[in-house]
Copies of this chain bind each other. A is one copy, B any other.
Amino acid sequence: MDYFYGPGRNHLFVPGPVNIPEQVIRAMNRNNEDYRSPAVPALTKTLLEDVKKVFKTTSGTPFMIPTTGTGAWESALTNTLSPGDRIVSFLIGQFSLLWIDQQQRLNFNVDVVESDWGQGANLDVLASKIAEDKEHTIKAICIVHNETATGVTNNLATVRKILDHYQHPALFLVDGVSSICALDFRMDEWGVDVALTGSQKALSLPTGIGIICASPKALEATKTAKSVRVFFDWNDYLKFYKMGTYWPYTPSIQLLYGLRAALELIFEEGLDNVIARHGRLAKATRLAVEAWGLKNCTQKEEWFSDTVTAVVVPPYIDSSEIVKRAWKRYNLSLGLGLNKVAGKVFRIGHLGNLNELQLLGCLAGVEMVLKDVGYPVKLGSGVAAASGYLSNATPIIPSRI
């Protein structure tokens, strides 16, 4: 029961869902269990404690909701805001666009701050808006830490600085879907009020858990937030947390054990080493892109993403052709260009449980596909640039020293 079988492994370089480590696949290879027995709460308790570490928060309250990133977004918004609330939101690519679409459909009053796709959030505009908003009509700032469609990372520390500078009480809501557990993300230090990710991203699990952390201030906001919510209502969780049974409805037993295993691997490697590894693989990817003579969709270095690189192709090439051929000929899965950049960029996701040689295999594949579609690439050039860097930057695997 496999569709379109090809020999060897699939090279999965979309920016999610990402490769699941064998250890995690193993941990999920199990029958269901009664989630009301003592075992599942005991397990859940450790997970709630440990996901906080990945968000770098001690004061946050985590929720692991059986949903996707889209559901996690909805949960972040409806638990903290009321219809009509004014929020500032940054449109910089397809995923921020979709989140804004959701915000509007949930009847918030959204100040959309748009940038060119390939640029980061325009924080100057934010500063002006905040400066002007003496009445505190702005209830929340919504921002993606990393825009998966363009490979742009926003500077969250600056957002916090702006809010602090003007002592503005707006909630600070962050989509960390393609950042948390891969990029340097500091919920407490940056005063993020709600941060969220999905299990199929840097945590390297199957899709199915939207993980959200809420600051004390965010929890306080739930008391007055009038948005209608039931499935996504944090209060139902909080009620069950108090009872020690944790689950208002049935969780996926398999994903809980999978998350346990995923966290073990992250802690064994060390979260900072995980982040450093993402930095290393990303830099190698960018060097390859440069060596191919292609441009990064991201317009400035300060926005370079360490989890996904969107590569701009020359106008005479259709980037979706690259994605199609990569899959058809080399069993290589690359990310399509979406919406405004459809046909113009292809994306290399380099997040999750991944290592140097996997990436170099991907880059070698991209080179061959570039040649296939008529781009005058020098085969080996990207790999050489990437491995030149990696050969200096890659540490010995700690457990093997």
Chain A interface residues toward B at CB < 8 A: 1-12, 14, 16-23, 25-39, 42-43, 66-71, 73-74, 83, 102, 105-107, 198, 200, 206-208, 227-233, 248-255, 257, 260-261, 264-265, 268-269, 274, 277, 327-333, 336, 353-362, 364-365, 367-368, 371-372, 378-381, 383-385, 387-388, 390-391, 394-397, 399-401
Are the C-beta atoms of A207 and B25 separated by less than 8 Å? no
Question: Are B5 and A399 neighbours in the complex by a CB distance under 8 Å?
Answer: yes
Do A207 and B37 touch across chains, with their CB atoms under 8 A apart? no
- Bound-state CA distance A38–B331 (Å) is 12
Known contacts A70-B230, A102-B230; decide if A358 and B25 are in contact (CB<8 Å): no
Q: How far is the CB of A76 from chain B (nearest CB, A)?
A: 12
CB pair A353 B7 closer than 8 Å: yes
- Cα(A399)–Cα(B328), bound, Å: 9
Taking CB atoms, residues of chain B closer than 8 Å to A327 are 34, 37-38, 400
CB distance from A115 to the nearest CB of B (A): 24
In this complex, the member of A14, A31, A329 whose beta carbon has the largest number of chain B beta carbons within 10 angstroms is A31
Closest chain B residue to A336 by CB distance?
B36
How many angstroms between the C-alpha atoms of A28 and B260 in the bound complex? 18
Complex interface: chain B residues within 8 A of A27 (CB): 1, 26
Cβ-defined contact, A358 with B9, below 8 A:
yes
Q: In whole angstroms, what is the CA distance A260 to B206 when docked?
A: 17
A132–B364 alpha-carbon span in the complex (Å): 55
**Measured CA separation A2–B261 after assembly (Å):** 11
A8: min CB distance to chain B, Å: 3
What residues on B are CB-neighbors of A329 within 8 Å? 394-397, 400
* B16 and A250 contacting across the interface, CB-CB below 8 Å: yes
| Across-interface contacts of A268 in B (CB, < 8 A) | 5
| A174-B189 Cα distance, complex, nearest whole Å | 48
A249: which of B20, B69, B206 is its contact (CB, 8 Å)?
B69
Inside 8 A of A83's CB, which chain B residues have their CB? 228
Contact partner of A353 (CB less than 8 A), chosen from B8, B269, B360, B364, is B8
Please state if B360 and A331 are interface contacts (CB–CB under 8 Å): no
Q: How many monomers of this protein are in the complex?
A: 4
Contact between B26 and A394, CB atoms less than 8 A apart = no
Q: Check A3–B43 contact: CB distance below 8 A.
A: yes
Q: Which of B22, B31, B269, B361 contacts A357 (CB 8 A)?
A: B361
Distance (Å) between the CB of A107 and the closest chain B CB?
6
- A357-B11, A357-B361 are known contacts. Are A26 and B30 too (CB-CB below 8 A)? yes
> CA A73 – CA B264 in complex, angstroms?
35
Of the candidates A3, A14, A26, A251, the one having the most CB atoms from chain B within 10 angstroms of its own CB is A3
CA distance A353 to B5 in the complex (A): 12
Give min CB distance, A121 to chain B, whole Å: 22
| Nearest opposing residue in chain B for A400, CB measure | B328
A203 CB, min distance to chain B CBs, angstroms: 11
Q: A12-B34, A70-B230, A330-B394 are in contact. List 12 more A-B contacts (CB 8 A).
A: A6-B355, A7-B277, A9-B19, A17-B33, A17-B35, A33-B333, A68-B231, A68-B250, A70-B231, A228-B228, A361-B362, A379-B384
Rounded to whole Å, the gap between the CB of A314 and the closest CB of chain B is 19
A12 touches B32 (CB 8 A): yes
- Which partner residue on chain B sits nearest A384 by CB separation? B380
Known: A71-B67, A379-B391, A380-B380. A332 touches B357 (CB 8 A): yes
Which of B230, B232, B328, B361 is A358 in contact with, Cβ under 8 Å?
B361
Return the contact of A331 from the options B105, B232, B355, B391 (Cβ within 8 A). B355
Known: A66-B68, A360-B361, A400-B327. A368 touches B355 (CB 8 A): no
Contact in complex: A74, B231 (CB < 8 Å): yes
Task: State A16–B251 Cα separation when bound (angstroms).
Answer: 11
Q: How far is the CA of A233 from the CA of B361 in the complex (A)?
A: 40
